[in-house]
Amino acid sequence: MKKKIGSYRRRKQMAAMALAASMGLQMLAGCGQSSGTQAAEPAAAVQADASAGQSASPNGSGSSGDAAQSGASQSAPRIDETTAEPSEMAVEAESSAGIREAYESPAATAGDGLAAKTDMALMPNMTSESYCFEPWPVPWDPAPYSAESYAQVDENGFSLVAAQPLSTFAADVDTASYANVRRMIEDGYALSDIYQDAVRAEEFINYFSYDLNLPKLGEKFGVTTQIAPCPWHEGHALMLVGMRTPEIDRREAPDSNLVFLIDVSGSMSSEDKLPLLQKSFRALTETLTKKDRVSIVTYSNRVEVVLDGARGDEKEKICDALDSLYASGGTNGEGGLQEAYALAERSFIGGGNNRILMATDGDLNIGISDPEELKTYIEGKRGDGICLSVLGFGTGNLKDDALENLADYGDGNYSYIDSFFEAKKVLVEEMGSTLVTVAKDVKLQVEFNPENVSAYRLIGYENRALDAMDFADDTVDGGELGAGHSVIALYEIVPSDSPQAVTLKYGKTTDNDRSEKGEYADEFATVSIRYKEPQGDTSKLVSYAVGTESVAEEPGEALEFASLVAQFAMILSGSSQKGTASLEGILEGYKAYAKHAKTDEYREEFYHLVRMLAKQQ
């Protein structure tokens, strides 16, 4: 999926590029400059014309240099920097810089991004004396296209409980979607410019931590449930299902065998890619100990092992290896993966955390001949106990759909790093939950009680949906939960006593049926969870009833904030289910929430993101 770039900064640059191209077309007849070899051919042409017409320069010398200057003055009047308006000079400078950056960027020289969509146009060669235009490849369309790609999904609709009482899905703790859309908003994207397919509601909701019930002694999960009125649909309710895993002391965490698989292709040269990546991995390195092992594999046109099995306390050695990296060439991601898995196998730690951390913009353009073969290969390696987590970087050619799939295949997490702030959150603050798996193949199945619920809709998780029969099938992959993870699933439900409830003429039960169901009359649903131990192959089952004790007139802190985030995601994605949700309503809701709830820097940032978009309305 391609879309025209929408940020304010990019619009300015593209406008400047269009201006430069227009000026070039007008000045194609001839131009020159006071010095340099680039003006030699135009000067010679003007000199030849002058000789043929037996003309002379104003001072009568008739020299080729004067003829060149004369030709230049006729085609492109000199601009005096001392008298030109500052705004004009800014536009001119930006025009030149914008077009040269588009051509000279490593992405262009590597055959990626804008250069793949170029044609011959005019490249301004600007000096303080004059303008000279020469052939130079730039985008033919002055509004270039972004090569970012996102998976298209159909939003979950309502299901009648009488016809489909089971909702089944894999747990998901990825957070890339929220960080990526945050980047768009901070770059100045208008609401209409944001990629709707980039919005995954469950990743928005689960980006934040919540004060959920801790696991009881001997249990794998703490489970929190609550039902309260829905703020965007009168007569509907929201049901929160929250899970939380126990925290882990980093000193008691299993030994880690980490392979940094780093994309150093030409498309990774910008500051928000390889330089940010290097800084991020240096921060992670500071948290490692001597019992950990670190290897580094890079890939571009070729694959290179930069570091093999260094101890975690050899921090200078690891950081020096990171600092030595530079971007150039193509993107042989498949070859890089194969080498990374080979290194991980060589340094494999039994019972430890064996994981590849792949850092890339996702533009794999060499070696991927069959995506299905790649999927089979990665899934086979996860069966050997090696996980693959993915860190996405950069803008313009982010392959979000491919990166999400790679992490899913490899039983890992997918995060998007748009800043060092986010890198510290993912790789330092949440390192335990990001790198230490406490339960794998986690699936949830919610059975709704038709006596109390007429219809339901799961908010998000569209690409994590499973068939009901998959729940008990241990060959079907679920999600992975790390130490200290909190996961929330939010349902919009239509209570059976709601005016919007659907009444079935032929759905009435017999007296015997009603008497049998009577014991469950105070239950809205049953939440069942299947999971495997990190080293196990057979799933375990736990179930929790959602009863009337979970019903409240006012939402608790977790549900109150999660509902605000859900509304934001629905607005950004253009959801047909958003009802009365609005940016202004979210802002007012957050102000009310902040008066009684404990906030943090991430929640405050959420408020400011909503405010930035609301101010554009």
H-only helix segments in 324-435: 333-346, 371-383, 400-409, 420-424, 431-435
Q: Output 11 or 498, whichever has higher pLDDT.
A: 498
Contacts of 315-324 with CB under 8 Å at 24 or more apart are 315/285, 315/286, 315/288, 318/285, 318/288, 318/294, 319/282, 319/285, 321/296, 322/260, 322/278, 322/281, 322/282, 322/285, 322/296, 323/278
pLDDT given for residue 445 in this prediction: 98
Closest CA to 285 of 191, 424, 165, 421: 424
Q: Does residue 69 have a pLDDT over 80?
A: no
d(CA 120, CA 300): 28
Query: How much of the chain is helix, strand and coil, in % rounded to 5?
Result: 40, 25, 40
Q: Tell me the one-letter amino acid at 543.
A: S
Quote the crossing angle between the two packed helices 601-614 and 557-572, to the nearest 10°: 40
How much is the pLDDT for 369?
A: 56
User: Predicted confidence band at 73 (pLDDT cuts at 50, 70, 90)?
Assistant: very low
Task: Give me the mean pLDDT over the 327-352 stretch.
Answer: 91
Confidence of residue 331 (pLDDT cuts 50, 70, 90): confident
Comparing 253-262, 376-385, 483-492, which segment has the lowest mean pLDDT? 376-385
Find the mean pLDDT for residues 496-500.
93
Q: What per-residue confidence (pLDDT) applies to 326?
A: 95
Q: Is pLDDT above 90 for 393? A: yes
- Residue 563 binned pLDDT confidence (cut-offs 50, 70, 90): very high
Domain 159-248+438-614 has CATH 2.60.40.1230: yes
Compute the average pLDDT of residues 350-354.
91
Element (H, E) at 525: strand 523-532
- Separation between Cα atoms, residue 400 and residue 408, nearest integer Å: 12
Q: How far apart are CA 353 and CA 338, in angstroms?
A: 19
First-residue to last-residue Cα distance in the chain: 26
Let me know: does 333 contact 359? Beta carbons within 8 Å.
no
> Quick one: pLDDT band at residue 251, thresholds 50, 70, 90?
confident
Class of domain 254-434 as given by CATH: alpha beta
Mean pLDDT of 513-536: 83
What value does the mean pLDDT take over residues 417-432?
92
When pLDDT is averaged across residues 496-512 and rounded to a whole number, the result is: 76
Q: How confident is the model at residue 62 (pLDDT cuts 50, 70, 90)?
A: very low
**Model pTM above 0.95:** no
214 pLDDT more than 60:
yes
**Quick one: pLDDT at residue 567?**
98
State yes or no: pLDDT of 169 exceeds 90: yes
| Lowest model confidence (mean pLDDT) among 35-49, 369-383, 419-433 | 35-49
Phi, psi dihedral angles at 57 (to 5 degrees): -75, 170
What pLDDT sits at residue 218? 87
- For 316, residues 6+ apart whose C-beta sits below 8 A from its C-beta are none
**Residue 60, token pair as written in the block:** 């009568």
All CATH 2.60.40.1230 domain ranges in the chain, comma separated: 159-248+438-614
pLDDT at 548: 95
- The per-residue pLDDT of the chain, averaged, comes to 81
Do the beta carbons of residue 305 and residue 277 sit within 8 Å? Answer: no
Q: Which residues of 230-262 are buried (b: 16+ CB within 10 A; e: fewer)?
A: bbbbeebbbbbbbbbbeebeeeebbbbbbbbbb
**What is the mean pLDDT of the segment spanning 129-156?**
61
CATH 3.40.50.410 range(s) for the chain read 254-434
More confident residue, 370 or 187: 187
pLDDT number for residue 32 = 43
Closest by alpha carbon to 184, among 200, 175, 196? Answer: 196
Confidence of residue 372 (pLDDT cuts 50, 70, 90): confident
Residue 568 contacts residue 599 (beta carbons within 8 Å): no
Of the pLDDT bands very low, low, confident and very high (cuts 50, 70, 90), residue 254 is confident
Question: Which comes out higher in pLDDT, residue 424 or 23?
Answer: 424
Stronger pLDDT, 389 or 22, i.e. the higher one: 389
